[in-house]
Structure 1
């Protein structure tokens, strides 16, 4: 099955409040706008890949509440296979209160809810689907043992594995990631996980190579307005940012990762896939919301033409 991606990860209901400024402790402010949407790093990345034409299956857990049913319906509406979505009896679904300032910057809280129930058994139950995929895409909003099981499955079955280590978890055992094909942190996650400063280009490269020395094949570091860096044992490649006027940066990192997985599984070279992903992420911050800001293939093609890509 061409361009086939399995996403093993989280889903959330985004509760987005647009604020003039963040309140101080003990202060109550009136906010001009509220929006409910669908999020969670896994679901976001799945939807981005699906909107760009990939065949996507989601392995995830939801609560047996209204949000859980809405999440299933949203994934189906976006063309994501939910055969391996498990509804956990008595659990609440994950939620993410998000606060967005006028310049597009955001602050996010997450309540994992049913996402904590996603287990290695769910990975095993989806083995036939996973073995037929071009890539397995992972994040850290689910239990670490589930991530380790998926990385091991990919290595054993010759399936490309991509891990976005977000949110950063200092308990992540890098020795369990030996054989991982793509490790995709942002600079703060890289610093936290490597224990090294990553606030300069030289620091990014040095920190990334400590991870490569532990068996990770490629490291892609996203740097916000500075673009991204692809670091291998011998090479460093700069992925330039695409200048746009930001409206809401929520979900931009997920847009980058999900689209990278789609372009890579579709046969693009790693550098081409990363440059396209940078453009897809740039497009996402020109609209409000998370998944609601993700372009389909036609809209993305128009954006690329408008930006001389």
Structure 2
């Protein structure tokens, strides 16, 4: 699985500090329930995807903002420790950093709240300030924990530069307009996000295909729909390709979607093979749920190769 040509990936996106509580059950309103464990980790969809790609060997730079607090200092150090270029990771005076309280139940399923903090200040001007780094990238990754206008501006500028883009439209927001994404190379929504963006139902395979094709008709290049335990669907103008799920016993599913997208960007930049990159990404995301936490559960290239050798040849 190791690729010989590392790609250059830029991430315009968020960072968070994950406040993870492992629970036996969620409390009812007004109820206090003891939880067995608590951990603090680094997260945020943008930083997660950046770390996944960096751990696999990509050269990664990030455009992001942190607060003027201890969380911000530690986030910048964490990114640098993973070899990520932080020249355009800016500290905002008087702002808190983004935080994400996460609750993980015994089955590994999670519920998440996010407080954007300084992430809400990431602006189109910040994208322009990082133009030299962004235009040199093979791919630019974005998510929706930053302002929609910043995402739209990045898509437009990347099209001018001839750089391919990937948007994970999570968390879903009605403020994101499809018309602002007409030059986007890859959109990677789940079923809920696909329904919100397309305005169409996504309850069946046929409806998922129709909804994805409606977005392609409006100018988006390719849609990759993530379906959890059912794998994913690659939808283009010409075809629909199922991406098979990889069966593992989950310990903690937090950050699995970011592992999928960050690793997809890595493998796509390195090989140019969309289907092959998605197959590798499915395996990488599966590996991530076998460990606790978010970024710390992401495999290096060596660990990922070892995991893949344990899988059936058809996986």
TM-score when normalising by structure 1: 0.99
Matches for 1:88-99 after TM superposition, within 5 Å: 88-99=92-103
Structure 1 residue corresponding to 2:225, chosen from 221, 243, 261: 221
Tell me the distance in 1 between the aligned counterparts of 2:164 and 2:130.
16
Question: Would the aligned equivalents of 1:93 and 1:112 in 2 still touch at CA under 8 Å?
Answer: yes
CA-CA distance at 1:267 after TM superposition? 1.6
Structure 2 residue corresponding to 1:187, chosen from 185, 188, 191: 191
CA-CA distance at 1:159 after TM superposition? 0.3
2:255 matched to which residue of 1?
Answer: 251
SS in 2 for 1:303: helix
1:280 has 2:266 as partner = no
1:158 matched to which residue of 2?
Answer: 162
1:123 has 2:127 as partner = yes
For structure 1, which runs of at least 5 residues remain unmatched after alignment?
A: none
Tell me the distance in 2 between the aligned counterparts of 1:231 and 1:130.
27
1:140 matched to which residue of 2?
Answer: 144
CA-CA distance at 1:13 after TM superposition? 0.2
CA-CA distance at 1:308 after TM superposition? 3.3
CA-CA distance at 1:36 after TM superposition? 0.3
Structure 1 residue corresponding to 2:55, chosen from 51, 58, 61: 51
Tell me the distance in 1 between the aligned counterparts of 2:117 and 2:204.
36
Structure 1 residue corresponding to 2:23, chosen from 3, 8, 19: 19
RMSD of the TM alignment (CA)? 0.9
Tell me the distance in 2 between the aligned counterparts of 1:25 and 1:200.
35
CA-CA distance at 1:201 after TM superposition? 1.1
Tell me the distance in 2 between the aligned counterparts of 1:177 and 1:153.
11
Question: Would the aligned equivalents of 1:2 and 1:134 in 2 still touch at CA under 8 Å?
Answer: no
Question: Would the aligned equivalents of 2:6 and 2:266 in 1 still touch at CA under 8 Å?
Answer: no
Structure 1 residue corresponding to 2:114, chosen from 99, 110, 113: 110
1:290 matched to which residue of 2?
Answer: 294
Instruction: State the number of aligned residues.
Output: 309
SS in 1 for 2:77: helix
CA-CA distance at 1:268 after TM superposition? 3.9
SS in 2 for 1:59: strand
Q: Which segments of structure 1 move beyond 6 Å, counting only runs of 4 or more?
A: none
Tell me the distance in 2 between the aligned counterparts of 1:130 and 1:268.
19
1:304 has 2:305 as partner = no
CA-CA distance at 1:2 after TM superposition? 4.9
CA offsets per residue over residues 13-56 of structure 1, 9 Å max, x none? 00000000111111110000000000000000000000000000
Question: Would the aligned equivalents of 1:185 and 1:222 in 2 still touch at CA under 8 Å?
Answer: yes
For structure 2, which runs of at least 5 residues remain unmatched after alignment?
A: none
CA-CA distance at 1:199 after TM superposition? 2.1
1:209 has 2:204 as partner = no
Tell me the distance in 2 between the aligned counterparts of 1:304 and 1:200.
31
TM-score when normalising by structure 2: 0.97
CA-CA distance at 1:196 after TM superposition? 1.5
1:198 has 2:202 as partner = yes
Tell me the distance in 1 between the aligned counterparts of 2:26 and 2:236.
39
Structure 1 residue corresponding to 2:46, chosen from 27, 42, 46: 42
